[in-house]
Chain A
């Protein structure tokens, strides 16, 4: 049985590096996505403090609440690693269980973000209220979109495994999904530190 940290190629694929095409594609895409979030974060900082009117960050940001939702997303990274190792052991029941757990944790994070956004909205922070609202919602919104896409992707794979279309032979393909999921997680850690934890 293959091992995720080793380089396992799908049947019939030969590569110069020994890294599968799919895996290399994902790493390369993530490098590009780093620049995407890098630009967004840079814009956030370029406008940081140029808020002509409230609500200001310290009035609305709820660090304990968001710490919990960050922890939820981090836990989902743990769950997806468990799903991957289960798939490597050909333990399909375990795989589906952990995968469903990952999906639910991701959905819980998104639900938390939805609740956070509506709370801010009621406190007067909107996309157009001031530059904090604009940059905050656009930055965290794009991250949320990444989480949403990840959830849809994982849900499709969960359904595929239910109908026997995703088997231990597809471990490389699933590994690529986990790369994406971990990346989205790491981006949130960075956003959480820079937007929420950095004192104003």
Chain B
């Protein structure tokens, strides 16, 4: 198939748009694929949240039964973490990182495509559990032995969860390997590590976290798989097994995972605030080292999720102390962001609105985080809505807000168009109001003892009023996201006229046209400082030009390409060749997981292992084909 496509291409035929997207290895297109897949999942998993909110709007509701509620709750959490927040981050890794470091692509373009397809297939596999009437229902952290024993979780629901997560884990590890090598090896001349944009730093740290944290989850998931399929007793106390082992493995992964999710949006905030304050990031090295400190400490705090397990006072005290330590580098970041805005000439465009709101909501989520770190307080708050309020402030307030800031900020680099400011402003305010209206009252009902994960509550608890407020807030929040879609549709109907540098940006992605040509940089830039482009435009003096003062701005734009990506390649530029193999290998891998799920069912059981074998066969020959295919496209074969 691949050969045929290339021969057609050489004969002068343009590949159909579908084939182009299926075989693309261009980081910009893969970023767009990641972006829209995650946005669709954001809406789907958000829809699940609204279902839960309807059920909880009033006491003793019968909208969702307990079984359905558990499934909806589990899928909401699992998909938001693994199929929304992580891949939405990966979308911006793809869209921004190669451009920000002055590279023409990532180090392994086909591995990049493989990461995307494995994410897509793995997440579809997990979503498909709804079609079979057995969605996972053990919560997003799937505590053993509820998750590991077929006695307690009959049906294939937890198999979907276990094996779907394995596929998503492989996708994440492949992506992390790729971006680690790309950032370490492919920076433009002059871009030393300390001259790297802070966002790129955060991506680098995140890649390291993924590589070191995910294996622990992989091992835990394998243990659950062995318990469920082969009757081992890893988590069966009757035979000496210990369910707490799962909690350790999960949280050794799970706490770094929080920073895997939040560090890249913190990086986006660290790019957006300086751009719209027209000042360099205050104490950038401190922000970078704070990121490193957070990442390092994140491996030593996992048991603060387990204070009530009964590990004893000494471990609890140690983990309380290490958890509070993380507050220090996080505080450093907040103060440096504030100092960045202090005295700047602030321009509250939509990205700036989202980024500065994220700083405030990080403080909200951070303060309650320090409260949980205090063991006696945590005893009260454990498994209550107070915890739900805390982590939603971080996950929605910081991570999603940061990613929405990134959306408005980098949309011109994705599509050559600027999103509408007026709709953006509405989107921002409704999101901001919705977020706080939803998650702030959860503190109240949480402190009042309302447990998380229960499908209903009785009227005499008195939680009905606040829950109604929460539900109204959630609907505002959900409907606000429709404005983003309307904005995108409206914007995409206009011609692509965004300038290369719409925000008077500071980093290298703004030196090239919007959207960039397939090869990104005709000439690889040379970097003279952290704000590489700003220095080229204004020199590296301390003079801060006002927003309107463009007189001293030196135009260093490359000539705009009328049809970016379709012109002839500059001499010496070789582009990676489109390939079917990443898609094929991902399909094989997912078939292995699907076969394993079938093996656990009664009706399709006999088909299970043959399909696992078939999947392994496809993976093996897919990798062989991958190996034999030349990675670089020759100029004559290039059509774009």
Q: Is the CB of A39 within 8 A of B624?
A: no
Interface band, chain A? 20 to 34
The reply to whether the CB of B132 lies closer than 8 angstroms to some CB of chain A is no
The reply to whether the CB of B231 lies closer than 8 angstroms to some CB of chain A is yes
Q: Is the CB of B240 within 8 A of A12?
A: no
Q: Which residues of A contact B181 (CB under 8 A)?
A: 21, 24-25, 28
The reply to whether the CB of B542 lies closer than 8 angstroms to some CB of chain A is no
Q: Is the CB of A52 within 8 A of B216?
A: no
The reply to whether the CB of B327 lies closer than 8 angstroms to some CB of chain A is no
Q: Which residue of B lies closest to A134 (CB)?
A: B232
Q: Which of B186, B233, B234, B249 has the most CB of A within 10 A?
A: B233
CA distance A1 to B185 in the complex (A): 24
Q: Which residues of B contact A40 (CB under 8 A)?
A: 219
The reply to whether the CB of B28 lies closer than 8 angstroms to some CB of chain A is no
CA distance A131 to B180 in the complex (A): 38
Q: Which one of A43-51, A68-76, A186-194 is at the interface? A: A43-51
Q: Which residues of B contact A51 (CB under 8 A)?
A: 240
The reply to whether the CB of A5 lies closer than 8 angstroms to some CB of chain B is no
Least distance between A38 CB and chain B CB atoms (Å)? 8
Q: For the complex, would chain A's binding face be called helix, strand, loop or mixed by DSSP majority?
A: helix
Given A32-B212, A127-B232, also A17-B239 (CB < 8 A):
no
Interface band, chain B? 35 or more
Of residues 216 through 237 on chain B, the ones whose CB sits less than 8 Å from some CB of chain A are: 216, 218-220, 222-223, 226, 230-234
Least distance between B156 CB and chain A CB atoms (Å)? 21
Q: Which residues of A contact B255 (CB under 8 A)?
A: none
Q: Is the CB of A36 within 8 A of B219?
A: yes
Pick from B107, B216, B219, B245: contact of A25, CB below 8 A: B107
- Type the 1/0 row for A106-149, where 1 means its CB is closer than 8 Å to any CB of B: 00000000000000000000011011001100100010000000
Q: Which residues of B contact A17 (CB under 8 A)?
A: 184-185
Q: Which residues of A contact B167 (CB under 8 A)?
A: none
Given A24-B185, A128-B232, also A47-B107 (CB < 8 A):
no
Q: Is the CB of B211 within 8 A of A28?
A: yes
CA distance A149 to B202 in the complex (A): 33
Q: Which residue of A lies closest to B245 (CB)?
A: A46
Q: Which residues of B contact A25 (CB under 8 A)?
A: 107-108, 177-178, 181
Given A128-B232, A138-B226, also A33-B184 (CB < 8 A):
no
Q: Is the CB of B215 within 8 A of A32?
A: yes
Q: For the complex, would chain B's binding face be called helix, strand, loop or mixed by DSSP majority?
A: helix
Least distance between A117 CB and chain B CB atoms (Å)? 14
- Type the 1/0 row for A1-40, where 1 means its CB is closer than 8 Å to any CB of B: 0000000000010011101010011001101110110111
Q: Which residues of B contact A127 (CB under 8 A)?
A: 226, 230-232
Q: Which residues of B contact A32 (CB under 8 A)?
A: 173, 177, 211-212, 214-215
Q: Which residues of A contact B184 (CB under 8 A)?
A: 16-17, 24
Least distance between B523 CB and chain A CB atoms (Å)? 14
The reply to whether the CB of B241 lies closer than 8 angstroms to some CB of chain A is yes
Least distance between A65 CB and chain B CB atoms (Å)? 25
Q: Is the CB of A47 within 8 A of B242?
A: yes
The reply to whether the CB of A156 lies closer than 8 angstroms to some CB of chain B is yes
Q: Is the CB of A130 within 8 A of B232?
A: no
Q: Is the CB of A50 within 8 A of B240?
A: yes
Q: Is the CB of A28 within 8 A of B177?
A: yes
Q: Is the CB of B214 within 8 A of A39?
A: no
CA distance A128 to B239 in the complex (A): 10
Q: Is the CB of B240 within 8 A of A39?
A: no
CA distance A15 to B234 in the complex (A): 45
Q: Which residues of B contact A52 (CB under 8 A)?
A: 239-240
Q: Which residues of B contact A31 (CB under 8 A)?
A: 211-212
The reply to whether the CB of B279 lies closer than 8 angstroms to some CB of chain A is no
The reply to whether the CB of B304 lies closer than 8 angstroms to some CB of chain A is no
The reply to whether the CB of B574 lies closer than 8 angstroms to some CB of chain A is yes
Q: Is the CB of B232 within 8 A of A39?
A: no
Least distance between A143 CB and chain B CB atoms (Å)? 13
Q: Is the CB of A33 within 8 A of B107?
A: no
Q: Which residues of A contact B239 (CB under 8 A)?
A: 52, 130-131
Q: Which residues of B contact A131 (CB under 8 A)?
A: 233-234, 239-241
CA distance A50 to B245 in the complex (A): 13
Q: Is the CB of A15 within 8 A of B232?
A: no
Q: Which residues of A contact B211 (CB under 8 A)?
A: 28-29, 31-32, 35
Q: Is the CB of A19 within 8 A of B230?
A: no
Least distance between A158 CB and chain B CB atoms (Å)? 14
Q: Is the CB of A19 within 8 A of B185?
A: yes
The reply to whether the CB of B367 lies closer than 8 angstroms to some CB of chain A is no
- Type the 1/0 row for B195-224, where 1 means its CB is closer than 8 Å to any CB of A: 000000000000000011111101110110
Q: Which residues of B contact A130 (CB under 8 A)?
A: 233, 239-240
Least distance between A28 CB and chain B CB atoms (Å)? 5
Least distance between A160 CB and chain B CB atoms (Å)? 8
CA distance A182 to B579 in the complex (A): 31
The reply to whether the CB of B124 lies closer than 8 angstroms to some CB of chain A is no
Q: Which residues of A contact B218 (CB under 8 A)?
A: 36, 39
The reply to whether the CB of B632 lies closer than 8 angstroms to some CB of chain A is yes
Of residues 72 through 98 on chain B, the ones whose CB sits less than 8 Å from some CB of chain A are: none
CA distance A142 to B225 in the complex (A): 14
CA distance A71 to B506 in the complex (A): 58
The reply to whether the CB of B443 lies closer than 8 angstroms to some CB of chain A is no
Least distance between B620 CB and chain A CB atoms (Å)? 8
Enumerate 16 A-B pairs (CB-CB under 8 Å) in ascending A order: A12-B574, A21-B181, A28-B177, A28-B180, A31-B212, A32-B212, A35-B211, A39-B218, A39-B219, A40-B219, A46-B245, A47-B242, A50-B240, A130-B233, A134-B226, A134-B232
B residues near A, CB below 8 A?
107-108, 173, 177-178, 180-181, 184-187, 211-216, 218-220, 222-223, 226, 230-234, 239-242, 245, 248-249, 252, 574, 620, 624, 627, 632
A residues near B, CB below 8 A?
12, 15-17, 19, 21, 24-25, 28-29, 31-33, 35-36, 38-40, 43, 46-47, 50-52, 127-128, 130-131, 134-135, 138, 142, 152, 156
Instruction: Kindly list 9 other residue pairs between chains A and B, CB separation below 8 angstroms, not including A24-B107, A25-B181.
Output: A29-B211, A35-B212, A35-B216, A39-B249, A43-B219, A46-B242, A128-B233, A131-B240, A134-B232
